[in-house]
Amino acid sequence: MQTTVQFDDWRWFFVTASVILGLTLIPIYVGYLAQTPAQNFAGVVYDRQDFEVHKATMVQGAQGHLTYRFMFSTEQGSEKAVKGFYLLLGRLAGAMRLEPTFAYHASRLLFGLLALVMIFRFLTAVFPDIPARRASFLLAATGSGFGWIMLIFNWQPTAQISPIDFWLIDLYEFFSLVTFPHFSAVIILILIIIMAFDHFLTDRRLVHWIQAATASLVLIAFHPFSIIIADLAVAGVALGHWRANRRLDRGIVISGLLILMTQLPLIIYNELAFSADQYWEQFRLQMVMLSPPPVYYLLGLGVLGPLAVLGIRHVWIERDRLGIMAATWVLGAFVLAYLPTLLQRRFTAHLTIPLGLLAVMGVRSLFPQKHADQAEQTGPSLQKWIFPLLVGLAMPSSMYLIAAGSAYVIHQPEELFDPAPVIEAVDWLGEHADIDQAVLSSPRTGQIIPGRTGLRVYIGHPMETLYYNQKVDTVNRFYNKEGMPTEERRAFLETCGCSWIIHGPFERAENGDLQLQALTELHLAFENEEVQIFRIDLSSGDSGP
């Protein structure tokens, strides 16, 4: 599996990788250009809600935690050893005194570069010839589907679901590079597992098996469900070696099973962590990520899909062991994507990597390579233009993400910009509240608080807030002047588990102008032109209206 990469090829790679990562910075840069003294840019353009969760986890890490507790809910669930990547990142950022958003993007770029290096190194082992290697890398790193064509014709299969090119982050490597550093860490570990296990089955050196097993344990600590994808790829490596060697080696089966056995303790721990505690069980039930109808995947794969089908046939006939691994990965992922689980679409993570490999194999099956004397007779090889054409057809949706994100953020959309008085109030709260206290606010304000202060909130995230739908209704009624009788408000304050209440523009926007001063349990602690913060003192509620 080892192919030497020449200096010119590495130079091409680093220039290309720099361009790819540079593109991911453009919407962020535009967002900060659009920031004004009155409006603070959140620091991200895509999936701010999950960004705030990751930032809150980093704050926990900076505080010294090695386990995660609920930050967007006031229920006292036990702390668990999950979200390890962001806890460690926060610990490192805290030690270096780095601001969380800066540390987040610095890690996104660093791990993004390392992920691209691993992808390129992996594809180098598959494609000794430079044109195929570069084409497969570009397809893996920037490939997307036909969403851009659907936009041009203003058409989609159902009105309720937009093209997956623009929201299913997991599937597309470029979209992952734009958003989350932990996705890059995950694919680094998966590729280490694949390459190390392939090395072991080739040379039977124990060190390679240890590398694969160790990387799988780290992967579980960082992103537990991704071990299913890695194990699927391991099975593909074993199948590829069986097919290539034309015999089933008992050592292949035993070594693969031993890797699974090393994973079992952590897998069992995670299963118990999400089922033994009623609150973690509720958290798992809220993690609903179902697949769209199959037609969306067909359109979302674009040109990669049909060419990958040809590639699957080609690698099986040619007994290409890593090609068979890629085929196993892709086919297995789409089976998992429609099994009756709550995490269906999560199993499509990073599929542009095996799809890019298989698509190039598919091109090879259509345009077999010719000997030099044949090429001279028939003219330039079709591969000289078919690869650029293929990349050109697969890339537009990824480029649209950058252009559309930049055009959108420059207009200061409310979900990406926070009023300066709200930020001032939240920061004041972070300085004056005890770290174990919780805050009542609207979901929009609650989204901001944990990542800026380390304080828990009653509501703030559709999945991280337990019993989210019920709480949305309760909060709306609480802040609505006519939504709750006074006694019901007081009863709610006694049970919500909060020590502070924020009343600002997001609380007033949808619920009317409630005068919280009427409640004697509340004591005004902070006020600016738009926001009031009240301290809850339940011992003061025996009198008043």
Tokens 């380390």 — which residue? 454
Q: Are 504 and 471 in contact (CB under 8 A)?
A: no
What's residue 520's pLDDT?
83
Closest CA to 421 of 526, 295, 275: 526
Q: Is 356 exposed, middle or buried (0-12, 13-18, 19+ CB in 10 A)?
A: buried
pLDDT above 50 for 182: yes
pLDDT in tens, 252-297: 999 999 999 999 999 999 888 888 788 888 998 999 999 999 999 9
Tokens 């304080």 — which residue? 455
CB neighbour list of residue 525: distance below 8 Å, 6 or more residues apart: 432, 500, 533, 534, 535
pLDDT above 60 for 372: no
Give the pTM: 0.93
SS (H, E, C) 337-361: CCCCCCCHHHHHCCCHHHHHHHHHH
Q: How far apart are CA 163 and CA 296, in angstroms?
A: 7
47: tokens are 């999936």
Task: Give the other-Cβ count within 10 Å of 347's Cβ.
Answer: 25
303: tokens are 């040109």
Task: Give the other-Cβ count within 10 Å of 445's Cβ.
Answer: 24
Sheet containing strand 456-457, edge to edge, reads: 456-457, 438-440, 500-503, 532-536, 522-527
What's residue 481's pLDDT?
83
Q: How far apart are CA 464 and CA 458, in angstroms?
A: 11
419-540 maps to which CATH number? 3.40.50
Closest CA to 49 of 400, 330, 323, 444: 444
Q: How far apart are CA 161 and CA 178, in angstroms?
A: 22
pLDDT in tens, 444-465: 999 999 999 999 999 999 999 9
289: tokens are 């990520």
Domain boundaries, the chain: 7-41+112-156+167-408, 419-540
The H or E element that residue 533 is part of is: strand 532-536
Task: Give the other-Cβ count within 10 Å of 77's Cβ.
Answer: 17
